[in-house]
Amino acid sequence: MSRIGVFICHCGENISRTVDVERVAAQVGNMPGVAFATDYKYMCSDPGQTLLKKTIQEQKLSHVVVAACSPRMHEKTFRKAVESAGLNPFLCEMANIREHCSWVHENREEATVKAIEIVGMMVERVKKNRVLPAITVPVTKRSLVIGGGIAGIQAALDIADCGHEVILVEREPSIGGHMAQLSETFPTLDCSQCIMTPKMVDVANHPKIKLYTFSEIELVEGYIGNFQVTIKKKARSVDEDTCTGCGVCMTKCPQKKIPNKFDQNIGMRTAIYVPFPQAVPNTPVIDRDNCTWFKSGKCGVCQKVCGPGAVDFEQQDRLIVEAVGAIVVATGFDLYTIDEKPKGSPIKGYGEFGHGKIPDVIDGMTFERLASASGPTGGRILRPSDGKEPKQIVFIQCIGSRAREKGISYCSKVCCMYTAKHTMLYHHKVHDGQAYVFFMDARTPGKSYDEFWRRSIEEEEAVYIRGMVSRLYQKGDKIVVMGSDIAVGVQVEIEADMVVLATAVMPQKGADTLAQKLGISYDKYHFYSEAHAKLRPVECATAGIYLAGACQGPKDIPETVSQASAAAAKVMTLFSKDKMEREPIVARVREAGCVGCFACKKVCAYGAVEEKEIRDRQGNLIKVVAYVNPGVCGGCGTCQATCPSKSVELDGYTDEQIVAMIEAL
Amino acid sequence: MDARVKKKKMILSQGTMDVDFVRKVEALSDTSVRRCFQCGKCSAGCPMATFMEHPPNRVVRLLQLGQWRRILEGRSIWYCASCETCSTRCPNKVHLASIMDALRKLSWDAEGPSKESYVQLANKLFLQNIRSYGRQYEMRLAAVFNVKSGQFLKDLSLGPKLLAKGKLKMFHSKNRNLSEIGKIFTRIEEMRKNGEAL
Amino acid sequence: MKKLLNYAYYPGCSLHASAGEYDLSTRELFKALKIGLTEVPDWFCCGATPAHNVDELLSLSLCAKNLELAEKVEGDLAVACAACFSRLKFTQHTLEENATKRKQVEKAIDAPVKLDGKVKHLLEILAGDLGLERLAASVNKPLAGLKVACYYGCLLTRPTDVPNLDCTEAPTIMERVIEAVGAETVAWSHRLECCGANFTLSRPGVVIQLTNAILDSAKAAGADCIMVGCPLCHGNLDIRQKEIEGVYKTNYNLPVFYLTQLVGLSVGLGSGKLGLDAMIVSPMPLLKEKGLL
Amino acid sequence: MHTDKPKHAFEPKIIAFVCTWCTYAGADLAGTSRMQYPANVRVLKFPCTGRIDPVFILKAFQQGADGVLVSGCHPGDCHYIAGNFHARRRFAAFRKLLEFVGVDLDRLQFSWVSAAEGGKWVEVVTDLTEKVRAMGPMTEFKELALEEQWSGAITTPELKEAYNSI
């Protein structure tokens, strides 16, 4: 027989003004199983809690109901108090007679009757409450960082500097990401390479960082603190340990006209190559699609000239399994390119801008490569078509972005600033040229950002024209830009030598596939979703997985670095304990009843349901049942409502508890 | 202003954006037109904006693009009352009232092409009065204005009332500095001829 | 009779013509307050709005020459007209800031520019140099019960940094002066709006529209009369009032006083010394009703 | 303030099944904003609408509820990623069943109320209460409940006759 204690709070006058608390206490005191009922001015106050603890011990209470405010307010408070009095915290429930009763009803009689019923429901419920022991899971103090751009590099360095091992996986042959492609960075015009390459070298030399480049995530299993990750290390055809990075192979390779993706395809590379001179690791990779040896079995010059004998045509892809406790996803972004319309892209295309067929209509990243001192033109702004210096250059913002119907609805966030930067770089390099920018709004919320934008106009003489461009077309060697100036209210026409489009920041291609492997959610554009937009911006809803950088949404460098460090801090918080505790509201399978239909597995958003084989003593398989991994379970209870044989139960919200409440009505 | 000019497409290039003219305006007005980011506050507070075909913000915008002809072909600058509201409230310290002065000056030099001849006429007569008499005599100013503008009956009813109240002086008193005033006018004319002043 | 203060006086063209009562009441008031006022000999027109409108250099030169003339008279320069005040202050400000323009002006007037002299509007003298306490002490006939709408117009306060008379957007100097002599002031919306100024000659239609909004606002705020410190504003509000009433089919009947007329009334000056009969909208019924005449 | 409202002839009993993250918080917000609504509703908190088994709804009707409200996070806002989608699909099918059994579907309402929508909570509860009040008491399931509790004793002549004819 339970001995339930019920405590009715006045909340000053907040409850007692409308609810006759004494009458509630008197009535509830007569309910079966209730051993003690009282009312008190402020239950959450120190004396209120002391009263609660003292009564539990004196009255030998088995369960507690506190009728007061919303459990969202003080459930933790009272459960802690109950625990300190020696009861399991989950034997305490709150009845909400403030937010759901005294504050929303004026009629004293109605409110009092309702309060009695609410308390009665909770009394019946608490009778069915079970002792729930805390769940602890072990934590593997190694982490995986996916993506070797500035976000991944920062997160990896921060975690590794704290002494925890980091596995850094990068898809491309070198780390560096998009930031390594940039010429200079706003709003200070620091050379991107100058601030980026030292960090890349730090990664390469860090004793706690294990770097896998030219590698991809194949499979992720496990849960917070206990992930097993399978990494596919693609065949580089060059042995990383043997190669000295002398570069002779690249100078001798006869295939020299392969467009270099790193240079936005305006520069050329060889078939055996490093994407850029400062690559980390500085080990070349053979592009097997374009290599003569792999195409025809002839050539092999690189192998012949390689002193240390590092070139290995037989190298195969390898699968590596690593155990980690936390994962930082830092896969970055991709840019919309107007010359392609990938299947499933939300952007409908820009035929009016020539679909990428006008050679001197380029995108912002291509301009970065042109402006970069280490780029294909050595930092000179030259037209791709004829190599001439453009004297009239037009920049157009919001290509794809902020175009709900034509493109994507969000703002790409960085284009306003990098376009302002482009006009400055252009003005510095082509003194007698004129830059024009067509824009809708200038969005410059950042430290020293608006000042930077204004400088491009007031000092660097860029002509900003508010209004979008309708169409571009080739006329002789000029590109006619048909726009409008909405401040003046007339059409504007410019014969430009070159046009630069600020194309939309998009998620990486394949972001959805990786998300499915990781079991994290993403939005309709395939940007990864944070657990809470404001209060948990670097965590995924899936425990143990954190987000850094533009994979979560468009971001500039300072924001990306901040988020990467924040993600690293979250990893370190997790790693600060050997075992982690979690609220024991998890689903539990009654194996005897489970028929192994796995309807629960289908509906589980967390991938917490596993298949478990039940064998007899001889090892014969009797049946396969569901098993809910308590480390992974999110505690939503969808499995329970779905289970046809009622063989899975969510602790804290069992059918018994809920039916008891309904029956109390 | 000719509606076709107002709506005419702008062809922008280094050739069509008259930077020299803009520099003149900036020198005369002591203000930078590039500072303007087109917030529209000047037009929002301008008491005369409803009478202008280019509201004040658009005047600055056209200057930014070196399209001064579009401004001078209109009458906006002649409707500015010099109330200084725009300059006072501008978040970027664009001294628009001074820009208007500069534009009127440059338009005056170019003998138009503004169509707002009444204001121009009034200004011309006013300055002539200073040169001839040293001071302003409203009666004379108004009378000559009405004759020259062909509005003989304008404000006719006000005349006798003002006369009766002693508000219209018929005779000028002699100013001993008159020759000095004449010299100032002449010196300025000479400085301009010699390119020493705008 | 010992003078408390002494000023050079620049009346400006209007005060010698259409705003004669402003000139008269200024001289009489200052006499009554024992403040010396010596008219700058052979001053000439500051150029007003038309000059700077089309020829800033001319405007600056005319003002610079007048400032030079004023140097010959003892005391700071007292200015009654808001337009002259604005131009003289503008000239000082511009020539202080811009060396090129200063050189040009020096060449035009063939003399070094002198910027040391202080240019003061009458309001500054009453509220500042004389002081509100001393002003209040001179009152013989407090303007009790008279509700005054103080109208600043454009040029007394704008732009920021140039006239430096009072706060640009929320000035109180007129209210402080007139309250010191016992009047009530009303809070109203249009005390800083433009009346159309010198368009009264070339574009009277514009002036009628703008001035009507001002009269309407003052009336709605419960004012008995309007007080101004600018002959141009006065011209539009007073001389054109009947015409506006006709156009808008309304009846304002708001006498428009110069500040010196009202202050003069409070120190006990009679109608003749204040030129009250020169006002188009007669103030007599109002003043009689309030027992001030 | 505490004036007694005019009594209605019939005060329906409304049971609300809500998720803790959105609708429960929305109802809390209605409280902190001191909005007023009829006192007929009793709230049962679940972690997620995904946890709500249709059986609970039947049970509620059996226990004398005259109306049932199910409410959770807006689609896409689920704290547990997708629980509300499962709930939506489940209840779409369940409504057909209820209709087949003969329950007036107007007695059962589904809605999305977010943690920020205190006003919407008030509106939904008030509307449902008034709607059910107009419909009158729910009788169908109360009879079923009585049948379920039947002791097996053949006490009436009708039953006896029926029993004998088997």
Specify the range with the lowest mean pLDDT, choosing from A65-74, A577-586, C127-136: A577-586
| Domains in chain B, CATH or no CATH each | 13-109 (1.10.1060.10), 117-193 (no CATH)
Work out how many domains chain D is built from and give that number: 1
CATH 1.20.1050.140 is the classification of domain C5-121: yes
Which token pair is B141?
Answer: 């100013």
On chain A, the residues whose CB falls within 8 A of the CB of D63 are 662-663, 665
Nearest of C15, C90, C80 to residue C52 by alpha carbon: C90
Q: How far is A197 from chain B (nearest CA, A)?
A: 37
**pLDDT tens per residue, range A92-131:** 999 999 999 999 999 999 999 999 999 999 999 999 999 9
* Distance between CA atoms of residues A456 and C259, nearest Å: 50
- Count of beta carbons in the 10 Å neighbourhood of residue A348: 12
- Whether the predicted pLDDT of A465 surpasses 90: yes
Q: Is C57 exposed, middle or buried (0-12, 13-18, 19+ CB in 10 A)?
A: buried
Name the one residue in this structure whose structure tokens are 């809920």: A658
- Whether the predicted pLDDT of B2 surpasses 60: no
| Record: contact A490-B37, CB cut-off 8 A | no
* Distance between CA atoms of residues A466 and A454, nearest Å: 14
Give the closest of C13, C61, C94 to B188, CB-based: C61
* Distance between CA atoms of residues B90 and B39, nearest Å: 9
Nearest of A469, A470, A437, A471 to residue A454 by alpha carbon: A437
Torsion of CA B146, B151, B153, B158, to 10 degrees: -50
Sheet holding A392-399, edge to edge: A361-363, A498-503, A392-399, A434-439, A463-466
- Whether the predicted pLDDT of D150 surpasses 60: no
CA distances from A37 to A83, A86, A118 (A): 19, 19, 15
On chain B, the residues whose CB falls within 8 A of the CB of C14 are 136, 138
On chain B, the residues whose CB falls within 8 A of the CB of C41 are 176
CA distances from D149 to A341, D101, D140, D142, D145 (A): 67, 19, 15, 11, 6
Q: Is residue D88 part of a domain?
A: yes
**Residue type for A604, please?**
C
Q: What is the mean pLDDT of residues A373-382?
A: 94
**So what's the pLDDT on residue D141?**
67
Residues 6 or more apart whose CB falls under 8 angstroms from that of C121 comprise C78, C79, C80, C82, C85, C156, C163, C165, C229
- Whether the predicted pLDDT of A492 surpasses 80: yes
Residues 6 or more apart whose CB falls under 8 angstroms from that of A11 comprise A42, A43, A68, A69, A98, A102
Among chain B residues, the shortest Cα distance to C236 is held by B158
On chain B, the residues whose CB falls within 8 A of the CB of A457 are 34, 37
Residue A377, CA atoms < 13 Å, CB-side half-sphere: 22
CB pairs under 8 A between B and C: 183
* Distance between CA atoms of residues A636 and A653, nearest Å: 10
Q: What is the mean pLDDT of residues A460-476?
A: 95
- Whether the predicted pLDDT of B5 surpasses 80: no
- Whether the predicted pLDDT of B168 surpasses 90: no
- Whether the predicted pLDDT of B183 surpasses 70: yes
**pLDDT tens per residue, range A32-87:** 999 999 999 999 999 999 999 999 999 999 999 999 999 988 999 999 999 999 99
**pLDDT tens per residue, range A410-464:** 999 999 999 999 999 999 999 999 999 999 999 999 999 999 999 999 999 999 9
Kindly report the pTM of this predicted structure.
0.78
**pLDDT tens per residue, range A163-182:** 999 999 999 999 999 999 99
β-strand pairing of A333-335 with A361-363: unpaired
How distant is the alpha carbon of residue D12 from its chain centre? Answer: 11
Q: What is the mean pLDDT of residues A322-342?
A: 90
Contacting chains of A (3 CB pairs or more, <8 Å) are B, D
- Count of beta carbons in the 10 Å neighbourhood of residue B40: 13
- Whether the predicted pLDDT of C2 surpasses 70: no
- Whether the predicted pLDDT of D162 surpasses 80: no
Q: Is residue D40 part of a domain?
A: yes
- Whether the predicted pLDDT of D163 surpasses 70: no
Q: Is A440 exposed, middle or buried (0-12, 13-18, 19+ CB in 10 A)?
A: middle
Higher pLDDT, B26 or B138: B26
How confident is residue B171, by pLDDT bands cut at 50, 70 and 90? low
ipTM over 0.95: no
| Record: contact B11-A461, CB cut-off 8 A | no
User: Which DSSP symbol is given to A64?
Assistant: E
> Which DSSP string corresponds to A423-465?
HHHHHHH-TT-EEEEEES-----STTHHHHHHHHHHTT--EEE
Nearest of B155, B176, B159 to residue B167 by alpha carbon: B159
**So what's the pLDDT on residue C203?**
85
On chain A, the residues whose CB falls within 8 A of the CB of B12 are 436, 463, 465, 492-494
**pLDDT tens per residue, range D48-67:** 999 999 999 989 988 889 99
- Whether the predicted pLDDT of A150 surpasses 60: yes
**So what's the pLDDT on residue D139?**
81
| Domains in chain A, CATH or no CATH each | 4-127 (3.40.50), 135-234+317-332+519-578 (3.50.50.60), 235-315 (no CATH), 338-506 (3.50.50.60), 587-663 (3.30.70.20)
* Interface residue A495 vs chain B (CB under 8 A): yes
β-strand pairing of A326-329 with A333-335: unpaired
Find out whether C12 and C81 touch, Cβ atoms under 8 Å: yes
Q: How far is A409 from chain B (nearest CA, A)?
A: 25
Which strand (E) or helix (H) includes residue A326? strand A326-329
Domain with CATH 1.20.1050.140 in chain C: 5-121
Find out whether A424 and A159 touch, Cβ atoms under 8 Å: no
Could you please state the CATH topology (level 3) that the domain comprising C140-289 is classified under. Answer: Rossmann fold (3.40.50)
Give percent above pLDDT 90 in chain A.
88
Give the closest of B9, B10, B34 to A457, CB-based: B34
Find out whether A178 and A360 touch, Cβ atoms under 8 Å: no
**pLDDT tens per residue, range A210-256:** 999 999 999 998 888 999 999 999 999 999 999 999 999 999 999 99
Q: The domain that contains D22 carries what CATH number?
A: 3.40.50
* Distance between CA atoms of residues D92 and D88, nearest Å: 6
The mean predicted confidence, pLDDT, of chain A is: 94
Q: How far is C137 from chain B (nearest CA, A)?
A: 33
∠ CA(A220), CA(A224), CA(A230), 5° rounding? 20
Which token pair is C229?
Answer: 């410190």
∠ CA(C61), CA(C65), CA(C70), 5° rounding? 145
Range of the domain at D118: 14-138
Give percent above pLDDT 70 in chain A.
99
Give the closest of A458, A466, A488 to B34, CB-based: A458
Q: Going by beta carbons, is chain B in contact with chain D, meaning 3 or more pairs sit under 8 Å apart?
A: no
**So what's the pLDDT on residue B129?**
86
* Distance between CA atoms of residues B179 and B190, nearest Å: 16
- Whether the predicted pLDDT of C142 surpasses 60: yes
Among chain B residues, the shortest Cα distance to A393 is held by B13
- Whether the predicted pLDDT of D3 surpasses 50: no
Q: How far is B177 from chain C (nearest CA, A)?
A: 6
* Distance between CA atoms of residues B198 and A396, nearest Å: 38
- Which of the residues B1, B7, B12, B17 would you substitute to probe the A interface, choosing the one with the greatest number of A C-beta atoms within 10 Å? B12
How confident is residue C251, by pLDDT bands cut at 50, 70 and 90? very high
Residue C112, CA atoms < 13 Å, CB-side half-sphere: 4
Give the closest of A98, A118, A637 to D42, CB-based: A118
Find out whether A93 and A70 touch, Cβ atoms under 8 Å: no
On chain A, the residues whose CB falls within 8 A of the CB of B38 are 466, 487
β-strand pairing of A505-507 with A333-335: antiparallel
- Whether the predicted pLDDT of D80 surpasses 90: no
Domain with CATH 3.40.50.11810 in chain C: 140-289
Q: Is residue D146 part of a domain?
A: no
Say whether A522 sits in a helix, a strand or coil: strand
∠ CA(A473), CA(A476), CA(A477), 5° rounding? 90
**pLDDT tens per residue, range C165-184:** 999 999 999 999 999 999 99
Ramachandran class of A303: left when φ > 0, alpha when ψ lies in -120 to 50, beta otherwise: alpha
Alpha helices, DSSP H, located in A237-278: 248-252
Q: How far is D129 from chain A (nearest CA, A)?
A: 14
The residues in C 172-191 lying below 8 A from B, measured between CB atoms, are: none
Nearest of A366, A636, A640, B74 to residue A626 by alpha carbon: A640
Name the one residue in this structure whose structure tokens are 């005033």: B181
User: Which DSSP symbol is given to A238?
Assistant: B
Q: What is the mean pLDDT of residues A530-549?
A: 89
